[in-house]
Chains A and B, each alone.
Chain A
Amino acid sequence: MSELRLTVNGEEHVLDAPVGTSLAHILREELGLTGTKIACNEGHCGACTVQVDGVPRLSCITLAHTVEGEVTTIEGLREHPLVDAFVRADAVQCGYCTPGQVVSAAALVAANPQPTREEIRHAMAGNICRCGTYPKIEEAILSWQG
């Protein structure tokens, strides 16, 4: 066990965890932040996306002890206008990948508030949605400011 200091959604946590534990595991199992989903657990699908200092990061292949900077999860983005935009556009089916999609999209619009379709496709290509909500995700991001 080794001490782990993490700032998540503005809150500081001091935990004990074995070195080698993934950030996704800490968020879900230790902090109860189950909005971050694990779908492949090897960094291929994007469901576990969180932000570290505003940059999208795959939390399932991020070692928790290596995180430097502030972690933002979907729980920290619940009031983001993208949430309403996703619901309005029906950019959600089973919903399992959706929190990760919103976290990626929030990083995109923070850096580029009016992304083009091409920019959206580029930024969001790492988030797999098996239900195929992609056209609606594109619409949601295009219309995120209402």
Chain B
Amino acid sequence: MARLIRTEKEVEGRFEEVWIVVEEDPLEQWPEGPLSVVGRPAPRKDGHERVRGQARYTADLALPGMLHAAVLRSPYAHARAKRVDLAPALALPGVRAAIGPGEAHGLEEEAGFAGAAVAAVAADTFGQARAAVEAIGVDWEELEVVLDPEDAVKRELLTGEPRTYERGDVERAFAGADVVVEATYRTQTVLHNSMETHQAVCEWQGDTLHVYISTQFIWGIRQAVAETLGMPEDKVRVVCEYMGGGFGSKNGPDEYTFVAAELAKRTGRPVRCALTRREENTSAGNRNATIQRLRAGAKSDGTIVAFEGEFTNSLGWSGWNASTEGPMRMLYDCENVRTITYGARLNTPPMKAFRAPGFVEGTFGLECLIDELAARLDVDPLELRRRNYASSNDGTPFSSKNLEDCYRRAEPHWERRHEVHARSDAVWKRGVGMASQIWYGGGGPPSYAWVRLGSDGRATVITAMQDIGTGTRTAMAQIAAEELGLPLEHVEVVLGDSARGPYASISAGSSTVPSMGPAVRAAAADAKRQVLEIASQRYHLEERVLDIRNGSVVSADGNLSTPLEEVVGLLEEAQILGKGARGPNPTGMSVLTFGVHVVEVAVDVETGEVNVERVAAIHDVGRIVNPLGASSQVEGGVIQGIGHTLSEERLLDPETGRVLTSSLDAYRMPTIADVPEIVCEFVDRPDEHLTNLGSKGLGEPPIVPIAAAIANAIRDATGAEVHELPISREEMLRALREADERAREKEKRGAPAAV
């Protein structure tokens, strides 16, 4: 039965109270451990298409008569286009239409960052469109540029009210602490750099707009495009069968979608608007930089009594104030916590969600501070984490938390540090560090799926979700195959088209499997129930004694075992149609993911070079549907995290605010040569309170703890305290010098006075 509930909806750590209609979720969870298909490693259903280059991405789409758009972008970090003259562009060969500020959503007179969109042209070829964009005449009025986040906070140039949080009595707790540590941590701006750039192809057929787009959220695009253009949602069709990465940057439509739609309307032809790599890195979003002033107080026995944090998120011209303070509030059992978080509005490109936004940055600060505290207290870092284990989320029980199991599994990796230290020499110092992980990833309703079963005994899962590269088709097929008792090869998955299936959730916030998986299982169960109804009538047996196993309909007493095709073969052209919906999340509980990383590094103390040599990544995300795909998610997160920690940084010209690292030779992402040994382990225990599946998401957790674990390993290897990302050679050498000075001071104080 459909039920109307008031619930808290979470995406990427952002909460809102919403009314929501949910279906009951009456299915019992499957038993723990690997089943017939779920919990067993499965290569990707669409692996061959992707590997062979047959998968069709938005970038590969060529519609008849399609035009190409190019966008005029502001060269100034803050300026007003007082006059925009499109006439010279329209006079050039191949040009079919040109639009200026206000003529498509996202084209604006006031450019708030270098790279903001102002005007656009559609032409027969992209080269012609680009040449025409160059010809557009603009009179710019330059405006004041603000690039310094601390200056912005001082002047109250913010994206909204600062966010404050407080529990307990922080002042009193610090006054009563035996040890207080404080430090300032800074993290840099990093760029998503999905391999397929942001792009859309728009085509009008009658009054219906067809949007082919590289996106993480088909239904979000449909809603936002319809709302912006003032159309009914059913008049917008959104298609994304394959997409080349998003990492949080492709959750909504941007100017390129509206430019393509408007130019398509004006020309009566399909229009592609695709960002170039350099536009991607100036205009398509980024992980914002942060400044974190942190303080922790503890008793001498290691009990943490107080945390305080002041966080500044350098958001750029737009973006939302991600929860950089989240880990400080949630990771440890601490009665007294006070945080304030500013969102500085700057004349820099916009912040967009990037794989666990806020928590990646906040975990770096907090987990480094915990190790500084451990050093001051002379307590083992793993022991200190255990002593302050949180048993609830500020009073709200966890739906499941197996972080202690992660810690236990971390022990043998942590024990390696003696052997690792022993491999140090005069130049290369080796050490081991750890950091814990907390993040969301519970998903939620609404999400729906259909299952179609034909007389050949093959099933098709239909839902208008997207596979952003995480292996969604495979995981959904595994869940349906398990429920239907079919081999995996007998299940297909159709997704990627709002006109071909019901509403499906966003693929962000580690929500795809926990949101969609239970809906797919429910749809498969509905189809299975119908098969058993038919079998019951055919064989004169009660439904409750029948089941489907390994493609056969069987009775509990073993007397009946007949291939599924024999039963559904009775259907001939008829089909069994199952439908399923995602049930509600458990009320009054916090659904969170947990984990720990143990990292081994080598530091060249002469040059400041840092090599990550080994990473053990242990995660608790409930039931694992596909261990093979899950290990790929962990490795990918760890590797992206190593880039964030050691080499990636978007640099701006401090005078003009222009991005200096928009090409991939200047912006340094990890290559295969930068990858350490990565060991993945999963607790793999279903969350008994969460849906019929018990699975949480895994896309984001592995990138959360890696930076702090690397920094803590560097401290273990050298005694140096790094406080900034990326840990460039300059930062590493600075930290080494500082550690040297500290050691000399200590020696001086400790040594007998020389006369």
Q: Is the CB of B47 within 8 A of A44?
A: no
User: Would you call B665 an interface residue if the criterion is a C-beta within 8 Å of the partner chain's C-beta atoms?
Assistant: yes
For A127, list chain B residues within 8 Å (CB).
671-672
User: Would you call B632 an interface residue if the criterion is a C-beta within 8 Å of the partner chain's C-beta atoms?
Assistant: yes
User: Would you call A136 an interface residue if the criterion is a C-beta within 8 Å of the partner chain's C-beta atoms?
Assistant: yes
The residue in chain B whose Cβ has the minimal distance to the Cβ of A74 is B53
Q: For the complex, what is the distance from the CA of A131 to the CA of B635, rounded to whole Å?
A: 9
Task: Point out the residue from B43, B52, B244 that lies within 8 Å of A94, measured CB to CB.
Answer: B244
User: Would you call A88 an interface residue if the criterion is a C-beta within 8 Å of the partner chain's C-beta atoms?
Assistant: yes
Q: Is the CB of B196 within 8 A of A94?
A: yes
Q: Is the CB of B51 within 8 A of A86?
A: yes
Question: How far does the Cβ of A136 sit from chain B's closest Cβ, in whole Å?
Answer: 6
The residue in chain B whose Cβ has the minimal distance to the Cβ of A136 is B632
Task: Point out the residue from B247, B276, B635 that lies within 8 Å of A136, measured CB to CB.
Answer: B635
User: Would you call A19 an interface residue if the criterion is a C-beta within 8 Å of the partner chain's C-beta atoms?
Assistant: no
Task: Report B627-671 CB contacts with A as 1/0, cut-off 8 Å.
Answer: 011011001111110000000000000000000000111000111
For B194, list chain A residues within 8 Å (CB).
94, 96, 130
For B671, list chain A residues within 8 Å (CB).
124-128, 134
User: Would you call B242 an interface residue if the criterion is a C-beta within 8 Å of the partner chain's C-beta atoms?
Assistant: yes
Given known contacts A87-B44, A87-B47, A94-B196, A132 and B670 CB-to-CB distance under 8 angstroms? yes
User: Would you call A54 an interface residue if the criterion is a C-beta within 8 Å of the partner chain's C-beta atoms?
Assistant: no
How many A-B residue pairs have C-beta atoms within 8 angstroms? Tell me.
Answer: 160
Q: Interface size (A, Cβ < 8 Å)?
A: 51
User: Would you call A39 an interface residue if the criterion is a C-beta within 8 Å of the partner chain's C-beta atoms?
Assistant: yes
The residue in chain A whose Cβ has the minimal distance to the Cβ of B45 is A87
Q: Is the CB of B52 within 8 A of A40?
A: no
Q: Give residues 77-125 of A contacting B (CB, 8 Å).
A: 78, 83, 86-88, 90-99, 102, 120-122, 124-125
Q: Is the CB of A45 within 8 A of B195?
A: yes
Q: For the complex, what is the distance from the CA of A129 to the CA of B314, rounded to whole Å?
A: 28
The residue in chain A whose Cβ has the minimal distance to the Cβ of B632 is A90
Task: Point out the residue from A29, A90, A126, A134 that lies within 8 Å of B44, measured CB to CB.
Answer: A90
Q: Is the CB of A95 within 8 A of B675?
A: no
Q: Is the CB of B43 within 8 A of A87?
A: yes
Given known contacts A40-B664, A131-B636, A92 and B50 CB-to-CB distance under 8 angstroms? yes
Q: Is the CB of A99 within 8 A of B52?
A: yes
For B43, list chain A residues within 8 Å (CB).
87-88, 90
The residue in chain B whose Cβ has the minimal distance to the Cβ of A45 is B664
Q: Is the CB of A87 within 8 A of B48?
A: yes
User: Would you call A68 an interface residue if the criterion is a C-beta within 8 Å of the partner chain's C-beta atoms?
Assistant: no
Task: Report A31-53 CB contacts with B as 1/0, cut-off 8 Å.
Answer: 00011111111101101000000
Q: Is the CB of A122 within 8 A of B59?
A: no
For A83, list chain B residues within 8 Å (CB).
48, 51-52
User: Would you call B416 an interface residue if the criterion is a C-beta within 8 Å of the partner chain's C-beta atoms?
Assistant: no
For A38, list chain B residues within 8 Å (CB).
59
User: Would you call B419 an interface residue if the criterion is a C-beta within 8 Å of the partner chain's C-beta atoms?
Assistant: no
User: Would you call B587 an interface residue if the criterion is a C-beta within 8 Å of the partner chain's C-beta atoms?
Assistant: no
Q: For chain B, what secondary structure do more than half of its interface residues adopt (helix, strand, loop), or is it mixed? A: loop
For A47, list chain B residues within 8 Å (CB).
195
- Tell me which of A42, A88, A90 has the highest count of chain B C-beta atoms within 10 A of its own C-beta: A90
The residue in chain B whose Cβ has the minimal distance to the Cβ of A46 is B671
Given known contacts A39-B277, A41-B276, A138 and B242 CB-to-CB distance under 8 angstroms? no
Question: How far does the Cβ of B88 sit from chain A's closest Cβ, in whole Å?
Answer: 23
Q: Is the CB of A131 within 8 A of B672?
A: no
Q: Is the CB of B675 within 8 A of A78?
A: no
Q: Is the CB of A131 within 8 A of B245?
A: yes
Q: For the complex, what is the distance from the CA of A36 to the CA of B57, rounded to whole Å?
A: 12
Q: Is the CB of A42 within 8 A of B277?
A: yes
Q: Is the CB of A130 within 8 A of B193?
A: yes
Q: Is the CB of A98 within 8 A of B50?
A: yes
Q: For the complex, what is the distance from the CA of A105 to the CA of B8, rounded to whole Å?
A: 48
Q: Is the CB of A97 within 8 A of B639?
A: no
Among B221-229, B397-405, B464-472, the stretch in contact with A: B464-472
Q: For the complex, what is the distance from the CA of A105 to the CA of B470, rounded to whole Å?
A: 23
Q: For chain A, what secondary structure do more than half of its interface residues adopt (helix, strand, loop), or is it mixed? A: loop
For B537, list chain A residues within 8 Å (CB).
none
User: Would you call A143 an interface residue if the criterion is a C-beta within 8 Å of the partner chain's C-beta atoms?
Assistant: no
Q: Is the CB of A130 within 8 A of B669?
A: yes
User: Would you call B673 an interface residue if the criterion is a C-beta within 8 Å of the partner chain's C-beta atoms?
Assistant: yes
For A135, list chain B residues within 8 Å (CB).
635, 675, 678
Question: How far does the Cβ of B645 sit from chain A's closest Cβ, in whole Å?
Answer: 13
Q: Is the CB of B638 within 8 A of A132?
A: yes
User: Would you call A3 an interface residue if the criterion is a C-beta within 8 Å of the partner chain's C-beta atoms?
Assistant: no
Task: Report B235-257 CB contacts with A as 1/0, cut-off 8 Å.
Answer: 00000001111010000000000
User: Would you call B54 an interface residue if the criterion is a C-beta within 8 Å of the partner chain's C-beta atoms?
Assistant: yes
For A98, list chain B residues within 8 Å (CB).
50-51, 53
Question: How far does the Cβ of B478 sit from chain A's closest Cβ, in whole Å?
Answer: 14
Q: Is the CB of B53 within 8 A of A92?
A: no
For A137, list chain B residues within 8 Å (CB).
672
- Tell me which of B49, B55, B197, B471 has the highest count of chain A C-beta atoms within 10 A of its own C-beta: B55
Question: How far does the Cβ of A64 sit from chain B's closest Cβ, in whole Å?
Answer: 14
Q: Is the CB of B638 within 8 A of A40?
A: no
For A36, list chain B residues within 8 Å (CB).
53
For A39, list chain B residues within 8 Å (CB).
195-197, 244, 277
Given known contacts A87-B51, A130-B245, A120 and B471 CB-to-CB distance under 8 angstroms? no
Q: For the complex, what is the distance from the CA of A86 to the CA of B43, rounded to whole Å?
A: 9
For B82, list chain A residues within 8 Å (CB).
none
Task: Report B188-226 CB contacts with A as 1/0, cut-off 8 Å.
Answer: 000011111100000000000000000000000000000
Question: How far does the Cβ of A142 sit from chain B's closest Cβ, in whole Å?
Answer: 13
The residue in chain B whose Cβ has the minimal distance to the Cβ of A91 is B51
Question: How far does the Cβ of B548 sit from chain A's closest Cβ, in whole Å?
Answer: 28
Task: Point out the residue from B52, B468, B640 that lies within 8 Å of A132, measured CB to CB.
Answer: B640
The residue in chain B whose Cβ has the minimal distance to the Cβ of A102 is B51
User: Would you call B60 an interface residue if the criterion is a C-beta within 8 Å of the partner chain's C-beta atoms?
Assistant: yes
User: Would you call A7 an interface residue if the criterion is a C-beta within 8 Å of the partner chain's C-beta atoms?
Assistant: no
Q: Is the CB of B47 within 8 A of A93?
A: no
For B44, list chain A residues within 8 Å (CB).
87, 90, 92
Q: Besides the contacts A78-B53, A87-B48, A99-B51, what 9 more A-B pairs have beta carbons closer than 8 Å?
A: A36-B53, A40-B664, A75-B52, A86-B51, A87-B43, A87-B51, A94-B243, A122-B673, A136-B632
Which 5 A-B pairs have CB atoms at the shortest separation, nearest pair first?
A35-B53, A94-B469, A95-B50, A96-B244, A132-B639
26 pairs from A and B in contact (CB 8 Å cutoff): A37-B59, A37-B195, A37-B244, A38-B59, A39-B197, A39-B277, A44-B664, A78-B53, A83-B51, A87-B48, A87-B51, A91-B51, A93-B471, A94-B50, A95-B46, A95-B469, A98-B53, A120-B672, A125-B671, A130-B192, A130-B193, A130-B247, A131-B469, A132-B638, A132-B639, A137-B672
